[in-house]
Structure 1
Amino acid sequence: MFCGPLLGCAQDITSANGGEGTRMDMQEAAEREDKILDAVLEELRPSLSWAHGPTSTGACDVSRMRAVMTVVSAERRGNFLGVVERFWRKSEYRIKSVNKDVEFPAIYARTSDGFGVSLSFGGGGQAFFEADSPCVEKSGVAESTTPPNGPAYEGVYPLPRPNIRSAFWSAGAP
């Protein structure tokens, strides 16, 4: 643990660039979150269109979001959630909770190195993936370099509701 008067206590997470005793900073944590989010989105077949949601930072944490722009029908949500949950379990993430609400289902998990990851459905049936870091060293955070799989919507906030149809994900039959 690392403790400081302004940051509080932070977990000792080794950065990808450092060695023993080197702590991860916010930029490295954001890059780790991009990898976590990229991996789950690559697992979903057929592929989905998604856009970057906001990156947010706290006193010692950072989070990244991806908004799914493909319409995922109510009939396909169970399949969608199942693929994600199985992938996270296979990746040895600990499933913390599952919200089985019909309209706003969600899955919350934690990676072995302390990152939180979630899939949740919001208004209009829009799916959101989010990854949150544990407390890490304060640093600047650049925007993600992963290109979105669909329109970028740069400078657009809030993002529009899902507006891309898929023969599979948008289908009205399970």
Structure 2
Amino acid sequence: MKVLRIALVTALAISATGCSILETPGEQEKGKRVVSKISLQEAAEKADAIMLSTMSSVQPMLNWVHDGSTDGGCGDYTIDGKTTGSVTRRAAVMTIVSEARRGSLLGVIERHWKKQGYTITSMNASKEFPAINARTPEDFRMSVLVGGKGQFFFSIVTPCFIESEVAPPKTSANGTPFEGSKVPDPSVHSDFWSANTPIPSPSP
């Protein structure tokens, strides 16, 4: 399979001390693999739907872009004798999220994932690089990580499915696609998410 490129979020996740990152293709535990005959393309589309649902759950709306998509093999693991692979979909938020409101945004994402029936597998409360990892009942693995300059990065790794060609995401991001291999710093101001004051607690 063609590897499009490795996104910045991977390096950021590794540098975040104590942060549990998602498995890369081929690293999933045998007991967690989902025996299914769907193609890797169909799995990627499921990951895209999860990504879009997650982004759409945030109000006011975030400005975000698709980041690099990576696909690769799952080693010797096969389904009906067929080679398998896994896809990683990524997205980066271009909205400037202030330090005062990053925790609130993480909370919105955590609550959405729980509402969907996803399991929160780990959390990193690091002040510099907080992160949340989760998984679906079908074992799609999600991660949200706050990286440099408070930029939010999302990653979704599919389980191992029958290998196939994988097209870029068809879901529409609402940010301007970037050129080159480096994700630009967040640059879109939001009256809500960029405010330098904590979100007021609701009145009792």
Compute the RMSD of aligned alpha carbons.
Answer: 1.5
Aligned counterpart, 1:104 = 129
1:11 and 2:23 are equivalent in the alignment: no
* Runs of at least 4 residues off by over 6 Å: none
Aligned counterpart, 1:18 = none
Aligned counterpart, 1:54 = 68
Aligned counterpart, 1:140 = 165
Aligned counterpart, 1:158 = 182
Aligned counterpart, 1:72 = 97
Using structure 2 for the length normalisation, give the TM-score.
0.74
Tell me if structure 1 keeps the 8 A contact 2:142–2:155. yes
**Deviation per residue, 1:111-150 (Å, 9 max, x gap):** 0111001110111211011110011111111001112211
Distance in 2 of aligned mates of 1:90 and 1:97: 17
Instruction: Give the superposition deviation at 1:11.
Output: 2.2
Q: How many residue pairs get matched?
A: 158
Query: Match for 1:31: what amino acid?
Result: E
Q: Which runs of 5+ in 1 are unaligned?
A: 1-6, 14-22
Using structure 1 for the length normalisation, give the TM-score.
0.87
**Deviation per residue, 1:43-77 (Å, 9 max, x gap):** 00000100110000110100100100001111001
1:124 and 2:149 are equivalent in the alignment: yes
1:30 and 2:44 are equivalent in the alignment: yes
Name the SS of the counterpart of 1:108 in structure 2. Answer: strand
Distance in 1 of aligned mates of 2:40 and 2:147: 27
Name the SS of the counterpart of 2:104 in structure 1. Answer: helix
Sequence identity, in percent?
Answer: 42
Distance in 2 of aligned mates of 1:72 and 1:26: 34
Q: Which runs of 5+ in 2 are unaligned?
A: 1-25, 74-84, 199-204
